[in-house]
Amino acid sequence: MMEEDFYATLKFKNGEEIFAKVSFSDENEKTVLIVFSPIVMKEFKNKIGVTGYKVEPWLKTTTDDMFIIDMEDILTISESSDIEMIMMHQSYVRQLPNGKDNRYPIDRKMGYISNVNDAKEILEKIFKNS
C-alpha cells in the first residue's frame, strides 16, 4: 500500500544527502521508500559572497527517475515545506529532456556556441592584441 507523496531531504547512513519527492510503501512486510527524481544540491559562493546552488541528479549514469530504497539505509528523513527547494526540484524535473539521456540540449541561450576554428581565430586575435 502506497502513502501520499511528499518532498523530503534524506540523509543516508553513508553520509549522502538528497532531496526528492518520496513515498512510503510496504513490500513483503518491509517498509521501503520510493524516491522520485532525486537531486543533489551543491551550494557555492562567488568572490563577493553571493550564494548559489547547483542542482545535479543523484545518480548520473542512469535514466531512471524512480528508485526504491531500503529504510535500513536511511539515517533520517526530514519532510520539506521549503518552497524554494521544492520549486528548484520541480524546475529540474521539468527541464529534463524527454529522451533517454539526462544531459540538456545545447542552445544559444546557454552562451556563445562556436566551432573550433572560429574559436581558435578569435582567441589568437585576443592574444595578439594584448
pLDDT tens-digit readout, 56-89: 999 988 888 899 999 999 999 999 988 988 998 9
Average confidence score pLDDT of the chain: 83
pLDDT for position 23: 92
Give the domains, in start order, of the chain with CATH numbers: 6-129 (2.30.30.100)
| Strand, helix or coil for residue 28 | coil
pTM of the model: 0.67
Residues of the chain with pLDDT under 70: 1-3, 97-114
Judged on CB neighbours under 10 Å (0-12, 13-18, 19+), 2 is exposed
Q: What is the pLDDT of residue 99?
A: 44
